[in-house]
Amino acid sequence: MNDGFLFHRKTREVLNRHAAEGYAVVVPLAATEQHGPYLPVFTDSIIGNHIALEACRKASSTMKLLLAPTLTIGCSQHHLAFGGTLSFTSSTYLAMLNDIGESLVRGGFRKIIFLNAHGGNEPLMHQAAQDLAVKHDIWTASSSYWSLSRTALNEQNAQDMGMVPGHAGGFEASLVAALEPDWIEAPDRAAQPLHPQRSWINAGPAGSFVGKHGQLTGADGYTDGYTHADAVKGAECLQSIIQSTASWLEQVVNWMNERMEVEG
């Protein structure tokens, strides 16, 4: 199986050569945080790492692309009250993303892409991508997997499993069940709410934030129940997410390459 796109498998000499050859670097972002009473705290990292790995495997077959190691701790301050969470503050996390970008720039790379799997990381990821592009003569891009695959997931009626992506609900449970079923504690489906709990995730129009102290992840740390979780459908959704993400990576890198040729 092709794994020649993995940044961490290379020597410094090979990476220096790849930087000079114009390779883009994808930096996957995830989290280690509470996911309700049944899903593992590594949920976002399980899902995010798989998507990044398989999407980059596809995209790297047609372009110069490297996948950095997944950053498995993110900005999860709103989960700390529930326990089972490792987190950086927002200021620390933003600084870390900028430092990772600075490291790649110092290493000669001029195309940096952040790929995210945890909602709390998203605004800081976009800010870091912008900061790096303002400071250096490089190209950056950033997105979360659910944004890239929204159309495909809607076509698959992924919302039938639960809020998409939600937090620790039916949708994420379906994805984890497709990847690591043994990591899920057997849920009492009858005890889970059928409908999404009130939370910032579904409050207001897209792009808005509405929140209250202590209620940023649902009343008990999850947004919806597992009643309609489905491992088979979860596997189908993962394939759509991977394809959507690979297509986006190809589009973004090709666009970067075209612009760089124009600019000389």
pLDDT tens profile 85-96? 999 999 999 999
Query: What ranges do the domains of the chain cover?
Result: 7-259
Whether 209 shows a pLDDT value over 60: the answer reads yes
- Mean pLDDT value of segment 171-175: 97
Residue-level pLDDT at 129: 98
* pLDDT class of 57 with cuts at 50, 70, 90: very high
Characterise 228 by phi-psi region: left (phi > 0), alpha (psi -120 to 50), beta (else).
alpha
CATH number of 7-259: 3.40.50.10310
- Mean pLDDT value of segment 224-239: 92
